[in-house]
Structure 1
Amino acid sequence: MTTIPWLTLAIAAPAVGALVVAMLPREQAALAKRIALGFTLATLAVVAVIAVNFDPNGPRLQFAQEHPWIERFGVHYAVGVDGISLVLIALSAVLVPLVMVASWSGRDGASADSDGSTPDQGKAYFGLILILEAMMIGVFAAADVFLFYVFFEAMLIPVYFMIGRYGRGDAGERRRAALKFLLYSLFGGLLMLVAVIGVYVYGGTFLWSELVGADGALSDLDSTVGIWLFLGFFVAFAIKAPMWPVHTWLPAAAGSSRPGTAVLLVGVLDKVGTYGMLRYCLEMFPAAAQWFVWPVVVLSLISIIYGALLAIAQTDMMRLIAFTSVSHFGFITLGIFVMTTQGQSGAALYMVNHGLATGALFLVVGFLIARNNSASITDYAGVQRIAPLLAGSFLVAGLSSLSLPGLSPFVSEFLVFLGAYAFHPVPAIIAVIGIVLAAIYILWMYQRTMTGATPDRFRGWADLSGRELWAVGPLVALLVVFGVYPKPLLDTINPAVEQTMDQMDVSDPAPAFPAAQSGSEEGEAE
């Protein structure tokens, strides 16, 4: 097993699929879709092999490969996975085929151009999804800082066209949203490029394994230099995440995207930001990360409350879900920077659970758009009477988004609260407000769209079709399964989090009331 380059296969499979799809004639869109789905299912199979053979308690980076790429500049093709990167690669591999199935008919909100022409909604769009999948797996698997940067920037290209060319709504509006997404991301990428160069100048290598740790190449880095390099990476990741106040590209991008694009944009791509904070900001610059703990915690709390309040005010469902993600990413960054094992484990688990819950929400909204050609909340009412499966899926996804106990996001959010409270009670108490606000925006959206009298124009609606059930059903099932039994994910994530804490030389704070220890001592005294 170890001699087979599994990670390279996982990256190459969708890239080869995109090439095959591109070579097909335009009129063979149906065949292109089948081929694209076949390649992404093959990618899922490869990722499943990696997951089954991964040892959470084994070496830090497994399935590792390292080959010189640009020898003159010390750049390597180096890949490997730990528990955190593995679960995010698995999330990508699961969401992509579901997005393809959901987008199969092309009736999920894509719009004609102003001249009346309709973009190719099969061949080109599915090819872009395959390219994006290769980039997403590559960015999580990269073990060379320069290689990570290459994948980080390369992801922008397919997403730009998926929004601007194959998006939803007015052509001019979606192109402006795509351009805004691109400019924000390029600005962050430029700052990170300067920091990447700085890492090589001061560390002498791009290999992540040689840069981190007490004996790493950056261990003796001057504190002032470390702060500036940290900021170069952090600002790029905060834009990608997105955190307040650099979040404004997300509502515009999600509002102008097809639901399938929004699933990948918010469900996976944005996780690159929070993953980068864990993998690069904390471990390469531990002293600088400690210096920025309280500023990032404050920004996280603002993101939680601000995102939730703006979500309540939305009338467009796509924008509403986008603002809920600003709030949810506040919880993730809070968990990362409270510097506790529970907080970081909860944050890593939250990345996966948010992808599942938000993915399901976007897909269900896409099914609504396919039926009524609108994402406006005011254009819907009484859907649960005529489409109970659709309404039920919407309800489960929505309750997951507000972290109802029994559904998987609850476990991750609870761990973040535990870690935050161990760090300091005040941030944990403020963050709880986000739960109350989440209940308001989710339940109010469900009430306005799914309950009440059903308009006569909806009477002919069909409930979820078999294809739509295949798209959203697995996500609903995973939300329930991991809500009841999160152990497989936590067993994979926890050792990587412990290794991150060790690399940073940080330990959990001592319990304020060590009741178990006191009790045992009293028993011994008796």
Structure 2
Amino acid sequence: MLDFFLLNVTNLLIFVLVLPLIGTFLLLFIPSSNHSLLKSVALNVSCLLYVVSLFLWVFFNKSIGSFQFVSKLLWIPFLNFNFSLGVDGISLFFILLTTLLIFLCILISWTSVKSNIKEFLIAFLVMEFFLIGVFSILDLLLFYIFFESVLIPMYLIVGVWGSRERKIRAAYFFFLYTLLGSVLMLLSILYIYYQVGTTDYEVLLTFVFSTTEQKFLWLSFFGSFATKVPMVPVHLWLPEAHVEAPTAGSVILAGVLLKLGTYGFLRFSFPLFPEASLFFAPIVYLLSIVGIVYTSFTAIRQTDFKRIIAYTSVAHMNLVMVGLFSFNAVGLEGAILQSLSHGFVASALFLIIGIVYERHHTRMVKYYGGLVHTMPLYTFIFLFFTMSNIGLPGTGSFVGEFLILAGSFKTNTSATFISATGMIIGGCYSLWLFNRISYGNLKIQYLKDYIDINKREAFTFLPLIVGTLVIGLYPEVFLNSMHMSVNMLVEITHICKL
């Protein structure tokens, strides 16, 4: 009985990966006209997947830093390609964040999506499959395949279910920017396969590339990961994609897709090319602090509700990059924690935008005002996540930002100071935005029928509020599982420093 139980726990990650495909298969056999059944099946599958993924955390051994729930399947044996899965303290919470947000995306789209509902739900379940694969694959070539495959359902979500006439342009913008950034990465993977004879990640960890090889390989990977973060100057696709995407598309884009770049640095650039990572760290610091300050100032002059939050996402993700390249445990854990917190907070802010857009079909800030008089619960939730966005103590963003600044202070004091200045600017535009939307007089000449959030919308916000508070009040729950994996990563870079 015990052996059967342990076997099932070992195969838990495979079940988590395959379950979205099972849900997709079920949706294919349901008539497109049966909207209620389609939505119920997709919602129940995504909810079940989130619950099952929580067991990865329950059975996760915090005392070891190696990969757990490892499974290996033969793929192309004569070329030495294997389908390998595993999670560690770095990837665990990204999988949980993915399964939670996909569930919330389906729930928030219950009434807003009115055309091609079956295809919409299938696109999200397929994207969930690819995202879980990205965070659990232990083969470099397969990682690239899953990494780029995420673009396909996201491209369709923006291009087909986007909200305005520029959605096709935004979809092409998103697809081409992120795909072209990854071309050199594919060539580098082929070079690595030619040198090592395999793309198995655990084998690659034992192989040492020369300093020159590391620099060229690191730069090719950097082009792909920096576009996904995104870093200045390859950030232009993000505001455009956010503005045109439906609410659920913006939620998954800000909540998970922006984490693919930072995860790529953590998983591949640092351990495989540690010398090059240290060598190029000053350039990354420079691009990151420019991104923080530039996008923060740019957000102030925006008039579109969504575009403002999109630029804040760029600033926060560039702050995460500052923490990553501090190369110490404090900064790295702060960067991971801030990524998780940003997944909760940014997703909630885009949900907040989607609620008023669904009612009034405009995102121009000038048309809103005085919502506190007619939508008090909405305003309270908006205030909570505004405070979280600027790092109020007691919220997850405060803990993440504090750890990032504490870690980067040991490495580069000037970058830390400028990054902190960018956070102050962020507080200015966040509070100004909240003031313009919530206070003042109701602009009834533009908008009518102010309706506060309903039970379904309130339930959607509940896990995001709880997650933000848990990270802010008791971050050790998350940090305990990260410590060993992060320490192993830090040891690699410290050896290179010596």
Task: Report the Cα distance in structure 2 between the residues aligned to 1:72 and 1:252, rounded to whole angstroms.
Answer: 44
Aligned residue in 2 for 1:26: 32
Aligned residue in 2 for 1:462: 451
Task: Report the Cα distance in structure 2 between the residues aligned to 1:140 and 1:284, rounded to whole angstroms.
Answer: 17
Aligned residue in 2 for 1:45: 51
On the 8 A contact 2:137/2:143 being kept in 1, the answer is: yes
User: What secondary structure, in the 3-state scheme, does the structure 1 residue paired with 2:182 have?
Assistant: helix
1:295 to 283, 286, 293: 283
In structure 2, relative to structure 1, the CA distance for the partners of 1:188 and 1:72 (3 Å cut) is: farther
Task: Report the Cα distance in structure 1 between the residues aligned to 2:334 and 2:92, rounded to whole angstroms.
Answer: 16
Task: Report the Cα distance in structure 1 between the residues aligned to 2:159 and 2:470, rounded to whole angstroms.
Answer: 36
Q: Alpha-carbon deviation of 1:481?
A: 2.3
Aligned residue in 2 for 1:515: none
Gaps (5+ residues) in structure 1?
Answer: 108-117, 510-526
Aligned residue in 2 for 1:184: 177
Letter in 1 for 2:281: V
On the 8 A contact 1:340/1:507 being kept in 2, the answer is: no
Alignment of 1:33-112 (within 5 A): 33-106=39-112
Aligned residue in 2 for 1:382: 370
Q: Alpha-carbon deviation of 1:441?
A: 1.3
Letter in 2 for 1:202: Q
Aligned residue in 2 for 1:197: 190
User: What secondary structure, in the 3-state scheme, does the structure 2 residue paired with 1:3 have?
Assistant: helix
Q: Alpha-carbon deviation of 1:21?
A: 1.3
Aligned residue in 2 for 1:224: 212
Matched, 1:14 2:2: no
User: What secondary structure, in the 3-state scheme, does the structure 2 residue paired with 1:55 have?
Assistant: coil
Matched residues, number: 491
Task: Report the Cα distance in structure 2 between the residues aligned to 1:460 and 1:258, rounded to whole angstroms.
Answer: 22
2:7 to 3, 15, 30: 3
State the Cα deviation string for residues 252-301 of structure 1 (Å, max 9, x = none): 00010011111101110110100000110000001111110111111111
Q: Alpha-carbon deviation of 1:507?
A: 9.3
On the 8 A contact 1:98/1:470 being kept in 2, the answer is: no
Task: Report the Cα distance in structure 1 between the residues aligned to 2:384 and 2:88, rounded to whole angstroms.
Answer: 31
Task: Report the Cα distance in structure 2 between the residues aligned to 1:166 and 1:455, rounded to whole angstroms.
Answer: 29
Q: Alpha-carbon deviation of 1:23?
A: 2.7
CA RMSD of superposed structures (Å): 1.5
State the Cα deviation string for residues 226-245 of structure 1 (Å, max 9, x = none): 11111111110000111111
User: What secondary structure, in the 3-state scheme, does the structure 1 residue paired with 2:71 have?
Assistant: strand
Letter in 1 for 2:35: A
On the 8 A contact 2:192/2:199 being kept in 1, the answer is: yes
Task: Report the Cα distance in structure 1 between the residues aligned to 2:90 and 2:216, rounded to whole angstroms.
Answer: 26
Task: Report the Cα distance in structure 2 between the residues aligned to 1:72 and 1:383, rounded to whole angstroms.
Answer: 64
Letter in 2 for 1:474: P
Task: Report the Cα distance in structure 2 between the residues aligned to 1:261 and 1:9, rounded to whole angstroms.
Answer: 25
Q: Is 302-311 or 198-207 further displaced after alignment?
A: 198-207
Q: Alpha-carbon deviation of 1:380?
A: 0.5
Identity of aligned residues (%): 33
Q: Alpha-carbon deviation of 1:59?
A: 4.7
Task: Report the Cα distance in structure 1 between the residues aligned to 2:125 and 2:495, rounded to whole angstroms.
Answer: 39
Gaps (5+ residues) in structure 2?
Answer: none
Aligned residue in 2 for 1:499: 488
Q: Alpha-carbon deviation of 1:371?
A: 1.1
Aligned residue in 2 for 1:512: none
Q: Is 68-77 or 428-437 further displaced after alignment?
A: 68-77
Task: Report the Cα distance in structure 2 between the residues aligned to 1:505 and 1:421, rounded to whole angstroms.
Answer: 17
TM-score by length of 2: 0.96
Alignment of 1:109-258 (within 5 A): 119-120=115-116, 122-170=117-165, 173-212=166-205, 216-217=206-207, 219=208, 221-258=209-246
Aligned residue in 2 for 1:443: 431
Q: Alpha-carbon deviation of 1:485?
A: 1.0
User: What secondary structure, in the 3-state scheme, does the structure 2 residue paired with 1:205 have?
Assistant: coil
